[in-house]
Structure 1
Amino acid sequence: MNLSSLKPAAGSVKVGKRVGRGQGSGKGGTAARGHKGAQSRSGYSRKLGFEGGQMPLQRRLPKFGFNNINRVEYKGLNLDAIQALADKLNASVITVDLIRENGLAAKKDLVKILGRGEISLSVEVQAHGFSATAVEAIEKAGGKAVKL
């Protein structure tokens, strides 16, 4: 085998359609574009979503929903995750930076502690938000919930 003998796989290369090359080719005259209309002209490009004049799908369907621009999104973290983190690091203070370093939240996430699971260690937890059940469980275990 050498470079001069290399060929593409059989059937992988398709010969392009030669249009506008005389009547004998069967693709002469109108060059397979039909008669008149925008699609027969050079420079024509169909608008995105255009359906030949029929009402397009995105206009047939009703608008719905609402996005509140003032909504504050939190990354929820449950007590069982905090317990696991405290056990792993043997830490008495769990900060947002500590949570981020261990991959439980992204760099720009606001962290909210939620009440699923149990916490047995007396730890101080610092976060941007707490649910009422989470605060209750942390304080019951002898810890402290500090809102940033």
Structure 2
Amino acid sequence: MRLTDALPKEGSQKRRRRIGRGISAGQGASGGFGMRGQKSRSGRGTRPGFEGGQLPLYRRIPKLKHFTVINRQQYTTINIADLASLPANTQVNLATLMEAGLITSDDGPLKVLGDGELTVPLQVEAAAFTASARTKIEGAGGTCTETD
């Protein structure tokens, strides 16, 4: 056996295309780059992200911090300090707060925030509670019930 005998099986490999070797080779003259224009010249065609003069994507998107949430959940919020004026063992939800005048507009489900102090026990029904609001309501002897 000789080194010249160690060849791949006939038809198992395609030979690589040799461009720029004359018109009979199939990829002569312009070498597959066409006739004229920016993409036929030597060197880099355009830089990455270039969109032909249109403002590129990396400049169109917002630059700082983060993207805004598209379908953000809107809540009607109330602080613990506002609930302190209610009598003890009151059932608190969005409807009762509207009747009492503590909330003037219904902007969505009720969310209780933890700003202020609470001394009376209340039964609060809301869609969401902050962690500090939950601890203050339960610390005063009340209950927190999450509704959907």
Q: Which has the higher helix share?
A: 1
